[in-house]
Structure 1
Amino acid sequence: MANKSTQIQEVPEVNIHQLQAIGEFGLPEIMTMKETLGKKLTIPQFNLFMYQMKRMGLDPSLKHAFPIPYGETIDIRIAYEGYHAKAQESEGYEGVYNQVICENETDDFEAETDDEGIIVSVKHKIKFPRGKAVGAYSIAKREGKKNVIILMDASEVQKWVKKNPNFWKLDDGSIDPDMFKKHVGIRAIKAQYDIAAVVEESMESMNVGSSIPAYESTGRKDVTPAPEKLKSPDTGQEDESAARIKALKAQVKTNYKKLGISSPEAIDEHAGEFFKVRGNSPTEAEIKAYLKIMEMQIQEKQAADQATDSLPE
């Protein structure tokens, strides 16, 4: 009897009733997902996550997406399986083909580009033993459209390898080919298929009970305010809101330095992944959301640096 009582306390009846049957998922399926992928979420966070899944047409039980809790907010991450599912629903879908290039295959690999430097074809001969993955490419095909071919060198994913080694590294320390193929595949899918409006708008950190937007990945917006937008038309002075935005953007630049991000290309890539701007220029809330992400990354970087410094020589 004591064990039964303990089980009832762990899953209070009121919490079960707070779960919502959303879309095609009934309460049994919802309960299963709550106790697995949503185990660390509150009931409101989980309900919000499932609502967003329905809105985007994604199925978390098929690993299309997963939630990451940050206090009262949740960060919804769309996986390769989610992007690929949306691509398959797109008109003219003809397939997405992902492959890694290994160290014993580089002599027989060729990528042809057009006059603008866009990759138009690849020639790849697979050899065994293949060796470690040193690159990857994806070909996204669509009827009536040119093939989109994305090619990446292993050096381009090192920041993710360092940040999430448990996901990116094999036991021997080399890059996991499956992770590499999924990463380059997402880039090709985004470039070929018109799914940004369906998926990207919901890849944001959500504050339960708040309407303040956080961030989405839709590409970099200029973080340097235009002078004419900082002036009040009546007084010619900076108004309070513009002054705050100016200060926030200065902090963004400082955080880039703390993260070791200096080149325009690296800034574009970081902002493209983490900075969401809905309009022509970033709002105060959008910049603050970006800063929160940067601050977490700075803390992770500092912790990693301290761990490295503490290693014996």
Structure 2
Amino acid sequence: MATNQMISYQTLAFGELTQQDVVTVRETIGKACDESQFKLFMSIAKSAGANPVMNEIYPAVRQGQLTVQFGVDFFVRKAKESEGYRGYDVQLVHEQDEFKMHQEKGEDNEYHLVIDEHSFGFPRGKVIGGYCTAYREGKKPFTVVMEVDEVDHFRKSNIGMQKTMWTNYFNDMFKKHMVRRALKAAYSLSFEDETTVGNEGVPEYKPQERKDITPNHEVIDSPKKPSKPENEDIDAIDEAKTEMVKKFERLGIPKGKARTEYIEKNARDIKGEPTLPQLLGLLELMDMHIEMHDAQLDDNDELE
């Protein structure tokens, strides 16, 4: 890789991720991305503190759109960093297993799933379901129970890699899916398994709630000149701008110079009239800043 390309990736390194690691990510899991998509992906990874080398986050490009996916290892690490972590247990239920469970009403008047029995011998037969129980100090165990039918759509997916993984490694993928769901609920982890970031076409913008975001977010300069929006993008651009104004108000940033400085600092790839992908990327980052802003307010309230 050219030296100037290496230099352009300097600011993408974070935590234990080195500049050479970034190059490796670019040449492997990031090879389907164009340069702007890759830098946006790395910017999101940096904000979340998710390490792509450790399979905690990875990109996919579908019909020209960047999709960012968080791996199960990321959810496990974030749960371990949470207060009261006591691990989890994930099991598959086969058609020959003896399996019983019930719902139990606790002193808090909330119902909790309780596994009464899960015993088995061999042969066990086909997998028909599964469960994952997440444990947390001072909390009731949180259990997710699922039947195979609930995830069968992954095996029928029109996304080639997703279909391949769920078909060839169904048991492992099913377990990982249940672990993510259990840990997300037990430890209030609001990272989505998969988030589509607008890049081409006119995708619908959907704000994502995100927690445990580090404050060291930085948007990397894009080497591409913004293209002129197509006619069909105009309405979507107007909607994105309206959404941006609302988010400025949520952040308490007044009109005028302060908002201009915010964009210059956090979205330096925007030069002149922004394109739709640039606006969608900025809105994604503003969601993260809003999450951090709200978290700081909550911390201040607790101190009072």
TM-score range, shorter chain: 0.5 to 0.7
Task: Provide runs of 4+ in structure 1 moved above 6 Å.
Answer: none
Distance 1:207 1:176, change over 3 A: closer
Root-mean-square deviation (CA, aligned residues, Å) is: 3.1
Match of 1:214 in 2: 205
1:168 equivalent in alignment to 2:166: yes
Cα distance between partner residues in 1 of 2:176 and 2:207: 20
The one-letter code sitting in structure 2 at the alignment partner of 1:166 is T
Measure, in 2, the Cα distance between the counterparts of 1:216 and 1:67.
19
Asked if structure 2 preserves the Cα contact closer than 8 Å seen for 1:76 and 1:203, the reply is yes
User: Paired residue for 1:189, among 178, 183, 188?
Assistant: 183
Listed as ranges, the gaps of 5+ residues in structure 2 are 210-234, 237-246, 248-275, 281-304
Q: Separation in 2 of the partners of 1:120 and 1:75?
A: 36
Q: 2:104 aligns with which of 114, 117, 122?
A: 114
Matches within 5 A, 1:216-295: none
Alpha-carbon distance between aligned partners in 1 of 2:130 and 2:124, rounded to the nearest angstrom:
13
Aligned mates of 2:2, 2:24 — CA distance in 1: 15
State how 1:26-65 maps to structure 2 within 5 Å.
26-65=18-57
How far apart are residue 72 of structure 1 and its match? Answer: 5.5
CA contact (8 A) 1:94 1:142 kept: yes
What displacement does 1:203 show? 5.2
Shift of 1:152: 0.4
What does residue 195 of structure 2 align with?
204
Partner Cα distance (1:103, 1:177) in 2: 14
Larger RCO (alpha carbons 8 Å, 6+ apart): 2
Q: Deviations over 1:57-89 (max 9, x none)?
A: 211111111111246642111121111111111
Q: How many residues are aligned here?
A: 203
Partner of 1:22: 13
Map 1:135-174 → 2, pairs under 5 A: 135-163=129-157, 164-170=162-168
Could you list the per-position Cα deviations for residues 169-192 of structure 1 after superposition, in whole angstroms to 9, with x for gaps in the alignment? 24xxxx721111111111111110
CA separation of 1:16/1:208 partners in 2, compared to 1, >3 Å: closer, same or farther?
farther
Q: How high is the TM-score relative to the length of structure 1? A: 0.57
Which amino acid in the other structure matches residue 60 of structure 1?
A: P
8 Å Cα contact 2:112-2:142 kept in structure 1: no
Q: Percent identity, please.
A: 29
**How does the TM-score come out when normalised to structure 2?**
0.59
Distance apart, 1:43 and its partner CA: 2.4
2:67: which partner in 1?
A: 75
CA contact (8 A) 1:18 1:43 kept: no
Q: C-alpha distance in 1, partners of 2:181/2:26?
A: 30
Cα separation, 2, equivalents of 1:51 and 1:160 = 28
Superposition deviation, residue 165 in structure 1 = 3.0
Q: 1:57 to 1:46 in 2, by over 3 A?
A: same
